[in-house]
Each structure stands twice: as C-alpha cells, then as structure tokens.
Structure 1
Amino acid sequence: MSLMSARAATGVCAAAALALLVPACSSDDDKGDKKDKTSELSAQEISDKAKQELLDATSVHLTLAEKGTDAEKDEPAAMDLTLDRAGNCTGKLTFAAGGGSADLVKRGDKVWMRPDSAFWRHQVPGGDGAAAAELFKNRYIHGSTSDPLLKGLAEVCDLKKLQKSVDEDSDDDTDKLKKGDVTTVDGTKVVPLTSTEDGKKKTLYVASEGKPYLIRATEKGDGEDKTTTLRDYGEPVPTETPSAQDSVDIAKLKDQLQRT
C-alpha cells in the first residue's frame, strides 16, 4: 500500500501553485514612469516582484483545484493547505477519480493523517479497504516523518521545497507575459499576466495594491484546467494537533495490513 506518491503530491503542488514559473520575459512595451502601484509596472517587473514575494514568504495558505482530464487517480485533484518554511502544515487533500480525501496535520516531525472511507477503499483493494475504513473510522493515523508510509505525504507540507522548485525552474522559462487591465479576485484588485504555449493559457493574478502577492494562478487547455489560490502570506500555521483519543499509532495500521 503506497498511501500516496510523494512525487505526485509534491509535483502537483509545485507545478500548479508555482505557475509563477511563467517567465520573467515580458512583451509589455510600457517604458513610462513607474509609480508605487504594481499595475503601473511592466509585466516583467510585476512577475519578478510577485516571484520574490513568494520566495520570501514564511508561510502561505494554498488551495488547488485540478479539473482537467489529465488528472490521475493517485494524484491530489484538490488541496487546501496552510504550510510554512519549517515544514508545518494543516489542511486537506482530495484525490481524483473518486480516490477519497485525507485530512493532514504536520508539526515538526510528527504527522497525523485522517483518510475518509473512499480513500481506504481506493488504496486498499477488495474488502480489506472497507475493513480498514471501519477500523480507523474518523481517527487520525499518527506517526513520524521517518516512517515510509507517512514521509511522502508529509513532503507536500514543505514550503521551502516548493519555493526552491520555483527558483530553480523559472530560470529556464522563456515565454512572454502580457499585462491585462486591473480586475478583482476574491475582493482583491489584481493585475492579470497571461502567456500561451502549446495550447495552454497561463494567467497569474498579482495584487495591484500593497505588496505584489501572487493571488491566483490558472492553467487551461490541452487537458489542463488548474486553479491555485494563495492567501494569508505570513500568517502562522495553526498549532493545534489531534488528541490522543482521536489518533491511532501507525504501528496498528501496519499490523492490520499484515493481517489482510
């Protein structure tokens, strides 16, 4: 039982959330006076500033929705995570193709995962999945990042890894961004930056006032339909962890799996 592919989880999170990998090369020709408002900067300058804010962030609340036909059943089709550079996080992962969902809490090297019954049935074949769902119903599986069953799942909580992937991968991108008119996303005024490559349209929505935070990133076309929203930059990850009575040590899970 894999529980989940670390590469899949981290890859989806990085690729979607960091659509900021869209280029720092601009096709915007505005060379006029630059004022404090982000909307009056060039597309390249906006992209650069938004990227730097993301790289400097100590924490962020990230939500991801993948509705495209390319979504694989073992990959998260949706995420709602608050994560920080220390590797702490709390939130929920929802898997494609009826793969269920799992609540996730990580604090230091301790991990708690609470799958729903659909997750158990999907991950453990036959009637064993239903048995596991009943045995561990509404309880968290608790262990540490040293355990192979939880290590991969916990890696999705690492904001530093996410930031590193953005910093490394963006250098090779040579697409061109176009700046659109100021619009609104979730009540925040934003500047849209768009690019198109291989039939896919990517749009970054960067806050036009205050700090130039990346607020939303979308990627659509050629089987992709992905939306990532970022908010609460710098807000701490909640410190509350599941209680002992609501948790089951992962050793019990392993013992159950060996019996099935």
Structure 2
Amino acid sequence: MTDLNALKDQRAALQAELEELEASLPALEEAVATAPTNWSHLAMPIGSPQSTAAREELEAARTRIQIIAPNSYGNGALDRLDKQIAHIEAVAKADERISQASAEEKEAGERVARLSASIGRIAQRVEEMQTAELSAEESAQEAEREAAQAIAKATASGDEKATSAAQAKMNKAIDGARSAKALKEANLPLISAMEAETAALEKQLATARREEDTARQTRRRASAAKLGEEWDKAVDVLVAIGARLIAEGGVDYPLNKLKLPTFAPGKKTIDHDTLRAHAKGEAA
C-alpha cells in the first residue's frame, strides 16, 4: 500500500503550488497587457520577445493550474490524490467501521422490530374495536328488522298480546341501536388517539429504517474496501507468478487473454503487457 503520509505531503505541496499559481495570475496577466509591442514596416503589431515570454509564462501557469486543480471530471492531480488518500484511510479504518456499523445496524433493526410490533398491536386493537362497533350495529339493525316484522304480523292478526310482545322487542332493539351508537361515539377519541400514536410511531419507524439502511451501506462499503485491498494483494502475488512464468518459459497462452481488474485508485487492469513488463524487470 502506498505510504499515506507521503501522499498527504505530496497533496500539501500541490495545494501550495496551486495557491501560488492562482495568486500569480493577476501579475502575469498584467505583464501580458503591458508588454512592449514591436511594429512591422506596414505599421502592424508583431509582438516582441517580452510579450511572447509573458504570454508563454501565463499560459504555462494556466496549464499547470488545470493539471493540478480539482475539476468536474475528477481527474485533476489533487482529485487523484484525494481518491488515493480516501482509499487508504477507508482500508485502514475498515475493521473499525464494520464493527461500528454492524452494531448500529443491529440496534436500528431492533428498533424497527419494536416499532413494527407496536404499530401492529395498535392496528389490531383498532380493528377489534371497529369490528365490535360493526357487530353491535348489525345486531341492532337485525333486531329492529325482526321486531318490525313481529309488530306487523301481530297488528295484522289483531293479537294484542303478540303486539305488546313485539313492541317490547322493538324497544329492546332501539336500546341496542342506541348502545351501538354510544359505543361508536365513545370509541372515536380512542381511535383518534391510536391513529395519532400510529402516525408518530411510523415516523420513528421510517427514521429507524433509514438508519438501518445507512448503517448497512456503511458496513458494506467498509467490507468492500477491505476485500478490495485483499484482492489487490492477491493480484500482486499473481503478477509476480505470471511474470516468472513468462520470464522462465516464454508462456504466452492463456496469459495473453488476461484482464485482471484492481480496486485501488490509480492501479490499472493487469493484462499480458503488464506481466511482460514485470518479466523484463526480473530478467534485467
């Protein structure tokens, strides 16, 4: 692995150079604007050694700034160093981040389970209350229909005793309807409170799920950084073996089809040419 301190020193030097170059631009631009100009025999400006030198110095500074400065493509010298530094730091902290993120993921997952269970209990309770309300209402309506039919039959038969009994049944049905209505009205504030509690719990649940997902992604990125470093180390071993194969035996196939990716920023895909270059180095 590239030395982290060396990369940071290199970055600091480039940053200082960039700031110095940017600070020098006004003076360089002024030098171009004020450089003497020579004239041709036709009275046309043809420049001067001083103006040419000033323009070249300004262009060199601008070009160097473009090479060093971060850009939208992420391929400036500082961009590349930042990626290398970030990769090395990610690998160095991978175990710590995996451990911390795993703990956070577990904790958030437990909160998700608790909150989901709470929401489920409330939903079940509300459903039971609404089912009881509906059952009471339907029973009262059925009793009213039966009582009404009994009254109609008793009236038609002229049986006063039956009429009186049917009316008593109707009064009971009316009381049942009032009770069903009273139950529904009594449940309204309780159901409203439970719905409000559910809404609050769902917000907490959404937060817990986001935290669980964030922790999971952090753990996966840290794990990927660690595994990528292990992969690159294994690739280095394979490169050494492949170079020896070529150097010792002139092996061409199947290594000429090799395309082995790497993960560290700045490292290239390993191919046959890479092995040949290493083989030449060993032979030398």
Q: Normalising TM by the smaller chain, what interval?
A: under 0.3
Q: Which TM-score applies when normalising by structure 2? A: 0.20
Q: Which structure: greater strand fraction?
A: 1
Task: Mark the structure with the bigger radius of gyration.
Answer: 2
Q: Which structure: greater helix fraction?
A: 2
Give the number of the structure with larger relative contact order, counting CA–CA contacts within 8 Å between residues 6 or more apart. Answer: 1
Q: Which TM-score applies when normalising by structure 1? A: 0.22
